[in-house]
Structure 1
Amino acid sequence: MTDRLPPLTALRAFEVAARHMSFALAASELNVTPAALSFQIKSLEEHLGKPLFVRLNRAVKLTEAGRMLAPGASAGFTELTKAWRMTRRLQDNATLTVTAGPAFTAKWLAPRLYEFARAQPDIDLRFTASLRLMDFVQDEIDVAIRFGNGPDPGLYSRPLRQEWVTPVMSPEMAAQYPTPSSLRNAPLMFDNSINFLDPPCDWTTWFRAVGMDYTPTHGAHFSQADHAVDAALAGAGIVLGRRAMVIKDLHEGRLVAPYKVALGLKAHFRFLCPLGAETRPQIAAFEKWILDEIDKTASVSDTLQIIPIENVSTP
């Protein structure tokens, strides 16, 4: 008995037919006639020396041999498709597909897109704003920007600037609440998108960092950071603003951070791509642009006393 593989077209016809359990649907997916598909499967059965399908009146079902072959055929074509996609995309230096969370996209990436387009007019930038974990190959993603602690095994992972949080508000509201103690009477707001962090990064921890024993219990809660920041911009209240979400508004004066004490987080944003892909021209250009943009607002962080959150004593 030889291990020589049968023709790839015959195996492909079998894999699709086994997935659909229908010759007609398989023929439609492969854009061939049912007779042509049936011929391919028949030739595969002759190569094997056993039937792979039981042909019923209006349906088919797998034989024991078909059930044995189907999982491996499916896995093999899945891997082959992934490899082909990866190889094909190596030839494309003009398209860059980036995924980032909706809040980071809205507050950091989107306001700066004009600058990237002006600096790299030959790169077609595409965004997928999602928190869903994506497969770089299956979802055809070049770069992911994600927030958390990592690690990121098997990926090129570049930590971006340290993240911190500090109370931010409109200049008008800052005039009403000039000191941390005055915040006891202020309309405080809550960004619930970072509730997963450990140790917790919340108002109670920040007040503890400035020497106050105070836990606010009332205020508007937001599931997304950009919505909380938008509310602060509108003068609706004061929020613990995350660096990436508020840095541009602080730098340009739409928001202020009057108390100068920030909590430094363990979690951070990372620039992620498949290992080795970081040298592709459009990915390298995008990474450099992000780092350059971060440097433009670095002076804001320099004005703050950043206390590592793990150094804030617990009760």
Structure 2
Amino acid sequence: MAEFDSSTGATRRLPPLNALRAFECAARRLSFRRAADELGVTPTAVSHQIRLLEDMLGQPLFVRHVRRVTLTPAGMALFPVLRDGFDSFASAIAHLRPQRTRPRVVLSATRLFTARRLVPALGRFAAEHPEIDLHLHASDVVVDLGAGDADIVVRYAEGPFPGLVAEPLMPEWVGVLISPSLGVVQPSDLRNVPLLHSDWTGPMAAPDWASWARSAGMSDLTVATGVRFTDDSHALQAAIAGQGAVVSSLVLAAPDIRAGLLANPFGPVLECGQYHIVTTANAIRRPEVAEVRNWLGTLRHQYVLD
């Protein structure tokens, strides 16, 4: 089958595909964390693949700064070649696939919002709109609507959103959440239980123990120690398991509060911004995107705090 031979007549000696994909994604995003989010792996896995590629090439492809990365000359030379190659792969494969007969909508939201608000409501959406394929993209990294990363998003941000179509969805409220089994009934009881923390990655001020303690007038509460989580959902699960108290979303934890798994035994409750539904003018003209927006609007009427 000579027609399938390489045009060079020589066996290709290429690095592993996973290493090339990790590099191309990290170079495009200029972030190992964002590349990991796009590829569905951990930042450590992305870093490992890029180190493997650099070792094979015998030179660095990135300059690692404290909170960002930049491309070296070698990285800048390699990136456009891989980017164009992957774009060509995607285009060729898309032409080979059967044309979709069902409308598809990609909805992006933070991981906690997806887990606590969207997933429980999926059954109702599927029952009401069996003709729409809804794809949930759970990410704490802001997606680029203009680049087509998603059709519609729920963003926890103040706005404005220039060039986009946005509407408020619901306010966010945060407060102390703890398992009723720990018997915490007044603020002073917090001195006797572990404090749980989640690392906030959003663009707005972090709802954390320090801000809550200031509002509560508890300047003597030790807020710098305790287990830290990179995922808000994990912090809530630890609180449900009775491993300590956490300052987190009362709105998104409302089902757990109503089920008796968590309690908000006392204030203060802090208002921390607003969730918005955001899309583009072109996307909202599609009937299926408009249906998803309408469905999201119904969620604001659920789990309202008593």
Normalised by the shorter chain, which TM-score bucket? 0.5 to 0.7
Q: What is the TM-score of this pair, normalised by structure 2?
A: 0.61
1:121 offset after TM fit, Å? 1.7
Quickly say closer, same or farther: Cα 1:116–1:254, change in 2 above 3 A.
Answer: farther
Residue-by-residue CA offset, 1:190-218 (whole Å, 9 max, x unaligned):
122268644x5321221232232234222
Distance 1:120 1:112 in 2: 12
SS of residue matched to 1:261: coil
Distance 1:131 1:186 in 2: 29
Quickly say closer, same or farther: Cα 1:233–1:209, change in 2 above 3 A.
Answer: same
Quickly say closer, same or farther: Cα 1:251–1:295, change in 2 above 3 A.
Answer: farther
Distance 2:216 2:146 in 1: 47
1:221 offset after TM fit, Å? 0.8
Residue-by-residue CA offset, 1:96-115 (whole Å, 9 max, x unaligned):
11122222222221222112
Unaligned segments of structure 1, at least 5 residues? 1-22, 25-77, 79-90, 304-315
Structural RMSD (CA): 3.2
SS of residue matched to 2:141: coil
Unaligned segments of structure 2, at least 5 residues? 1-6, 9-86, 88-99
Please tell me whether the aligned partners of residues 93 and 282 of structure 1 are also in contact (alpha carbons under 8 angstroms): no
Q: What is the TM-score of this pair, normalised by structure 1?
A: 0.60
SS of residue matched to 1:245: coil
Please tell me whether the aligned partners of residues 184 and 265 of structure 2 are also in contact (alpha carbons under 8 angstroms): no
Q: How does 1:1-150 map to 2 (within 5 A)?
A: 94-136=103-145, 138-139=147-148, 141-150=150-159
Which residue, 270, 277, 280 being the options, matches 1:271? Answer: 277
1:189 offset after TM fit, Å? 0.5
Quickly say closer, same or farther: Cα 1:233–1:278, change in 2 above 3 A.
Answer: same
Please tell me whether the aligned partners of residues 216 and 267 of structure 2 are also in contact (alpha carbons under 8 angstroms): no
Q: How does 1:175-254 map to 2 (within 5 A)?
A: 176-193=183-200, 197-198=204-205, 201-216=207-222, 217-254=224-261
Residue-by-residue CA offset, 1:194-249 (whole Å, 9 max, x unaligned):
68644x53212212322322342221111111111111112111111113431222
SS of residue matched to 2:200: helix
Quickly say closer, same or farther: Cα 1:125–1:162, change in 2 above 3 A.
Answer: same
1:123 offset after TM fit, Å? 1.3
Alignment identity in percent?
30
Residue-by-residue CA offset, 1:3-62 (whole Å, 9 max, x unaligned):
xxxxxxxxxxxxxxxxxxxx99xxxxxxxxxxxxxxxxxxxxxxxxxxxxxxxxxxxxxx
SS of residue matched to 1:227: helix
Please tell me whether the aligned partners of residues 107 and 134 of structure 2 are also in contact (alpha carbons under 8 angstroms): yes
AA in 2 matched with 1:135: D
Please tell me whether the aligned partners of residues 98 and 127 of structure 1 are also in contact (alpha carbons under 8 angstroms): yes
| Equivalent residue number for residue 297 of structure 1 | 303
1:117 offset after TM fit, Å? 1.1
AA in 2 matched with 1:149: E
1:296 offset after TM fit, Å? 1.8
Which residue, 281, 292, 311 being the options, matches 2:287? Answer: 281
Distance 2:233 2:290 in 1: 27
AA in 2 matched with 1:145: V
